[in-house]
Amino acid sequence: MLEQALQAAAALPDGDPLAAASALRAAGFPPDLAAAALTQVALRRKAAAKFGADAAVMHFTRAGLEQATRGPVAARRAARLAAAGATHVADLGCGIGADTVAFARAGLRVHAVDASAEAAAAADANVRALGLADRVHVETRDATDVALDEVDAVFCDPARRTSGGRRVFDPRAYSPPWDFVVGLAARVPMTVLKLAPGIDHALLPPGAEGEWVSVDGDVVEAAAWCGPLATAPRRATLFQGAEVVSLTGTGLASAPVGPVGNFVYDPDGAVVRSHLVAEFAATVDGTLADPTIAYVHTASAVPSPYGRCYQVLDQLPVAVKRLRGALRSLDVGSLTILKRGSALDVEELRRSLRLSGTRAAVIALTRVAGAPAVLLLDRVTGAGLSTAADPAGAAGR
């Protein structure tokens, strides 16, 4: 009867939830079943952004959908693991099965476990709904209790939220415990760990490749590729629509320092998080105007997928009153504020400026040679230049 309720709920317009619940009850579905079906359909509609057409038949929990790997990211990871020779992977902390599904589609056998019975049930339902049950075994089990003798690869996505749903930022509070997580590579050399984007580089397993992944400019995860899977010390992987690009390097290099350029690049967050700003600067013959700030300055606009490019129009006063006067003289009313290395509060500054002009402008709050600075910018787009959307209103980094 659940499938019938789901079909009926999916056929209703995406509008008033009370009217939808009344319609399902009028069609003969009990109130609890109607509510469950409407919730699931709402989650499926939201999940389409992550899973595409698959979302229409998948099963979700609210927390599971929020934490699940995006479909294209999971597919790329699975393809890389398969290309490395993996055949049977243990998915520890499988959640609703996003990575499990990707591994199975890449031809791997999967032993998927999750300590949450609700999550494991969703994962099992999803592999069945997508016709992958013959490759996958799902069970409710603590990751620390799983025997790894029969697998040749491990993927571990430790829980990074408390039972109350709050984010956990200290890896020592992960579940399973951090010592267990980082010790997996010693047991199964082909190990991949999915980690929070803010993970400290010093916490990565020795010799592991640290990868930071962004999707359309939003940094969504970090990963540690261990043992024979490590092909570079650091990697930034950027999903930009249908295109995927990667930048690799040591993560230890320093970019040269120079004056403010005619153009400035705001590197993608994955580039910054992976400590590959110097490697990015080398691709555009760029320099930093301050050794501690990740804005890359160039003499010309060089095509690059790794950052948004802006023309530097002017350097404005830092003092709020003088900055207000400069922007008002330019008839600025709509202001996008970028920020790196500035102590100014973006929204407080926006209120203090009290702009009411007719033109739009972009400014960057930053530092130049150790001193606070404000740069007036104009976005540059064109063939080969990054087309990632500008931050809406403000970007504080």
Would 263 be classed as within a structural domain?
no
Would 240 be classed as within a structural domain?
no
Cβ proximity of 100 and 112 under 8 Å: yes
Structure tokens at 201: 């580089």
Q: What is the pLDDT of residue 165?
A: 61
Where in the sequence is the domain holding 339, given as residue range(s)? 300-396
Structure tokens at 21: 């619940």
Cβ proximity of 377 and 206 under 8 Å: no
Q: What angle do CA 24, 26, 27 make, to 5 degrees?
A: 65
Question: Domain check: are 113 and 208 in the same one?
Answer: yes
- Which of 18, 36, 57 is where one domain is finished? 57
Question: Domain check: are 102 and 221 in the same one?
Answer: yes
Question: Domain check: are 88 and 40 in the same one?
Answer: no
**Domain tally, the chain:** 3
Question: Domain check: are 136 and 39 in the same one?
Answer: no
Q: What is the pLDDT of residue 32?
A: 83
Would 237 be classed as within a structural domain?
no
Question: Domain check: are 19 and 125 in the same one?
Answer: no
- Strand locations in the chain (E): 88-92, 109-114, 136-140, 153-156, 191-195, 209-215, 218-225, 234-240, 243-249, 263-267, 287-288, 296-298, 307-316, 332-339, 359-368, 371-380, 394-396
Would 142 be classed as within a structural domain?
yes
Would 295 be classed as within a structural domain?
no
pTM: 0.90
Question: Domain check: are 188 and 168 in the same one?
Answer: yes
Is the per-residue pLDDT at 1 higher than 70?
A: no
Distance between CA atoms of residues 142 and 136, nearest Å? 17
Would 88 be classed as within a structural domain?
yes
180 CB neighbour count, 10 Å cutoff: 17
**Partners of residue 136 on adjacent β-strands:** 110
**pLDDT, mean of residues 382-397:** 47
CATH code for the domain of 134: 3.40.50.150
Would 196 be classed as within a structural domain?
yes
Question: Domain check: are 22 and 70 in the same one?
Answer: no
**Which of these ranges, 15-19, 69-73, 263-267, 390-394, has the smallest mean pLDDT?**
390-394
4 CB neighbour count, 10 Å cutoff: 13
Is the per-residue pLDDT at 290 higher than 50?
A: yes
Would 292 be classed as within a structural domain?
no
Question: Domain check: are 84 and 216 in the same one?
Answer: yes
Question: Domain check: are 122 and 140 in the same one?
Answer: yes
pLDDT digits (tens, 9 = 90+) for 56-69: 999 999 889 989 99
What value does the mean pLDDT of the chain take?
Answer: 91
Question: Domain check: are 44 and 80 in the same one?
Answer: no
